[in-house]
Copies of this chain bind each other. A is one copy, B any other.
Amino acid sequence: MAGEKITTRAQDYSQWYLDIVHRAGLAENSDVRGCMVIKPNGYAIWERMQRALDGMFKETGHVNAYFPLFIPKSFLAKEEQMAEGFAKECAVVTHYRLKAIPGKGVEVDPEARLEEELIVRPTSETIIWHTYKNWIQSYRDLPLLINQWANVVRWEMRTRLFLRTTEFLWQEGHTAHAKQAEAEEETHRMLEVYRRFAEEWMAMPVFTGPKTDGQKFPGAVYTLAIEAMMQDKKALQAGTSHFLGQNFAKAFGVQFQSAEGKLESPWATSWGVSTRLIGGLIMTHSDDQGLVVPPRLAPVHVAIVPIGKTPEEQKATVEAAGQLAAAIAAMPRDPFYGYDPLTVRIDKEFDKSPGFRFNEWELKGVPVRVEIGPKDLVQSACVLARRDRPGKEGKQMGIPLSDAPAKIDALLRDIQKSLFEKALAFREANTHRVDSYEEFKQKIEEPGGFFLAHWDGAKETEDRITQETKATIRCVPLEGTAEEGNCMVTGKPSKGRVVFAKAY
């Protein structure tokens, strides 16, 4: 395996994605249908994402809590749209005991049947609003701004590592407010948190805006989403923020006494992002050399590769590498890196060729590689190579070792910026305005991409387009400007363009 080239995007985009996931050690399928094992290199990216997001949630006044994994079956039935939308592909716990049969393994104890089946949470609105009933009595208890980091399970038939798995990790925010306007403001505030995280940390540009009614969360009044373009020009829904109105409060009988002394139902939001983001990160930045990780989320920022043939050369370059690593680690902690110290790895695999070693670090997506050979040492210098521009183009030669920590810091910041700009340029080059349905049907196949087109707002029109082209409306973009026009299918009037694309 090691050393073999990965499939290129041009050869087979799907296989390219899987090659990166496997070869960079990010995840693998488990023997439990649809469930993945998140391997250390993948989990390390998730940890960085968690840290950054958690900090943003806390800055916006939220606290974390933890609610049960199991949801009594009857809870799911309480909110009607929820029951229809989620009471489908769920893992159901029916028994609570096994019996060991000596020599024959274990069996489910038929006598240990639960009176009421428990559902492994597919999302936690029901159990959380059931709990909020006891927490919310007065307007003084509001707003309630709570987030949960958790695993959830949705029994998926067709799975794909990170993008769609039966079990996945996520965060789900669940807030309660006294006034409708406050809840709607919160829904938009968290959309903006997601947009900032996607753009500023993941370097992944997104369109933001409401989903159409047909695509919203079951139980929501409306759903806002962030939508990113992958390198195959398909869309990935990367995060959602829902305004739930009073639906869950009413379904679970939650009421509070307002400042004016009246009994009212609180207004709710929920919002979440998941390990799916890792799939989005991979498909936004990676190339035919392997994984590319934006520096702000990179588990390892710098790989130092000392080079030498003789033991003396190796000893000298390893020593220089160690000194450089110490100098990098001694840099002050900075919010740009989430107050974490920069992480440095020193590669001592001298039994492999320098080229092989460079390729391995490129495959793993480490943003900056430092090469220190005997000739560099003569000048007390090193070579810096940036991952986002593989090959000679991205190399800076003869950097004095004493200047290297500051240069590396500057380079990491530049890579972060360049990755965003490159992704944005790609999206802009592949986002098209179309006005005729004929043109749309042709272009959605080739060249593909995002299409800004007028739509009459009718579900039938949306369904017809999806049936005929497999494209869906990703969102009604907040980034768009009001523009009078006519639906490309029916010719009926429209007030602005929406984003069409094929999607994951």
Residues of A participating in the B interface, judged by any CB pair closer than 8 Å = 28, 30-32, 35-40, 43-44, 46-47, 63-74, 76-77, 83-84, 87-100, 105-106, 108, 117-120, 127, 130-131, 134, 146, 150-151, 153, 155, 167, 169, 333, 339
Pick the contact of A30 from B64, B68, B120 — CB < 8 Å?
B68
Chain B residues, CB < 8 A from A64: 40, 43-44, 47
Contact B92 A98 (CB under 8 A): yes
Shortest Cβ distance from A78 into chain B, in angstroms? 8
CA of A28 to CA of B66 in the docked complex: distance in angstroms? 11
CA of A97 to CA of B63 in the docked complex: distance in angstroms? 33
Chain B residues, CB < 8 A from A97: 88-90, 92, 155
Shortest Cβ distance from A174 into chain B, in angstroms? 12
CA of A37 to CA of B150 in the docked complex: distance in angstroms? 13
Contact A66 B37 (CB under 8 A): yes
- In the complex, 14 of the A-B residue pairs with CB atoms within 8 angstroms, ordered by the A residue number, are A31-B130, A40-B146, A43-B64, A43-B65, A73-B105, A73-B106, A83-B106, A84-B100, A90-B96, A91-B95, A92-B97, A92-B108, A98-B119, A108-B117
Contact A98 B76 (CB under 8 A): yes
Contact B84 A65 (CB under 8 A): no
User: Nearest B residue to A146 by beta-carbon distance?
Assistant: B40
Pick the contact of A44 from B37, B63, B130 — CB < 8 Å?
B63
Contact A95 B98 (CB under 8 A): no
User: Nearest B residue to A39 by beta-carbon distance?
Assistant: B65
Contact A69 B151 (CB under 8 A): yes
Contact A96 B155 (CB under 8 A): yes
User: Nearest B residue to A98 by beta-carbon distance?
Assistant: B87
CA of A32 to CA of B89 in the docked complex: distance in angstroms? 21
CA of A187 to CA of B73 in the docked complex: distance in angstroms? 42
Contact B98 A68 (CB under 8 A): no
Contact A40 B69 (CB under 8 A): no
Shortest Cβ distance from A131 into chain B, in angstroms? 6
User: Nearest B residue to A119 by beta-carbon distance?
Assistant: B98
Contact B38 A66 (CB under 8 A): yes
Chain B residues, CB < 8 A from A95: 91-92, 94
Contact B94 A106 (CB under 8 A): no
Contact B30 A67 (CB under 8 A): yes
Contact B108 A68 (CB under 8 A): no
User: Nearest B residue to A76 by beta-carbon distance?
Assistant: B106
Q: Given the known A-B contacts A83-B105, A87-B100, A94-B95, are A40 and B63 also in contact in the complex, defined by CB atoms under 8 Å?
A: yes
Chain B residues, CB < 8 A from A37: 65-68, 131
Chain B residues, CB < 8 A from A91: 70, 93, 95-96, 118
For the complex of A and B, the 6 pairs showing the least CB-CB separation, nearest first, are: A77-B105, A35-B68, A38-B66, A40-B63, A92-B95, A87-B106
Pick the contact of A96 from B71, B92, B151 — CB < 8 Å?
B92
Chain B residues, CB < 8 A from A117: 108
CA of A87 to CA of B106 in the docked complex: distance in angstroms? 7
Contact B87 A127 (CB under 8 A): no
Chain B residues, CB < 8 A from A118: 32, 91
Contact A73 B108 (CB under 8 A): yes
Chain B residues, CB < 8 A from A83: 100, 105-106
Contact B98 A88 (CB under 8 A): yes
Shortest Cβ distance from A452 into chain B, in angstroms? 37
CA of A439 to CA of B158 in the docked complex: distance in angstroms? 67
Shortest Cβ distance from A141 into chain B, in angstroms? 12
Contact A94 B96 (CB under 8 A): no
Chain B residues, CB < 8 A from A105: 73-74, 77, 83
Chain B residues, CB < 8 A from A76: 98, 106
Contact A32 B68 (CB under 8 A): yes
